[in-house]
Amino acid sequence: MNETISVLLKRRSIRKYLPEQIDDESLQTIIKTGLYAPNGGNHQYTRFIVIQNKEKLSELKGIIKDEFAKKDIIEGQYQNKTIIKAKQQEDYDFSFNAPTLIIAVALKTHGNSMADSANALENMQIAATALELGACWVNQIHWLTENQALRDYLEPLGLKEDEDVFGSIVVGSPDQPRHKPSARKEGRVVIIK
């Protein structure tokens, strides 16, 4: 099988990490793949805030937990699981204790910001897999992008006033074997020739 296709099929969301930080060369490679991701009009508006500092990650985890714990559970809302965990688990950690967090930010007003950020983050997850690292998309920061406490914390770290968080991933060395993929659901493809 083609090596690229093999890596794409091997990628899994890793939710348990070893505490050791990833090396700088791997980080730079991962970031480079994000910078080269497809983006609308080649505007290259998506930027990345990378946090590897343990103290900063710990502070951010606390903000995320506190802000979700304040939220009400809304019937049928996708975020309910996160809200419940934040309210009930003292050690709630949206990052699964990964040593590296990469946040994709882009212009609030650019119509392709979400797609551009998603392309970049997916490239980086695939790169992490190719480097035998693990990665997982985490939505919590994006869900709180309008939250003032979060914005107050992220702005000194590089978030601009005219930007929002459109996604983030955590990266590290997996502390679990890569599980086999679940069966693919039927009926998801229509081919018209």
Q: What tens digit of pLDDT does each residue of 23-39 get?
A: 999 999 999 999 999 99
Closest CA to 128 of 169, 176, 180, 181: 169
CA gyration radius, the chain: 17
Q: List pLDDT tens digits, range 86-124.
A: 888 888 999 999 999 999 999 999 999 999 999 999 999
Closest CA to 12 of 125, 173, 168: 125
Please compute, for residue 18, the number of CA atoms within 13 A of its CA located in the half-sphere on the CB side: 10
Specify the pTM.
Answer: 0.94
Instruction: Using pLDDT thresholds of 50, 70 and 90, give the confidence band for residue 176.
Output: confident
Asked whether residue 155 is domain-assigned, the answer is yes
Asked whether residue 177 is domain-assigned, the answer is no
- Give the number of domains in the chain: 1
User: Residue 90 corresponds to which tokens in the numbers above?
Assistant: 């003292």
Q: Print the domain residue range for 117.
A: 3-172
Asked whether residue 183 is domain-assigned, the answer is no
Residue 155 in contact with residue 75, Cβ under 8 Å? no
Asked whether residue 114 is domain-assigned, the answer is yes
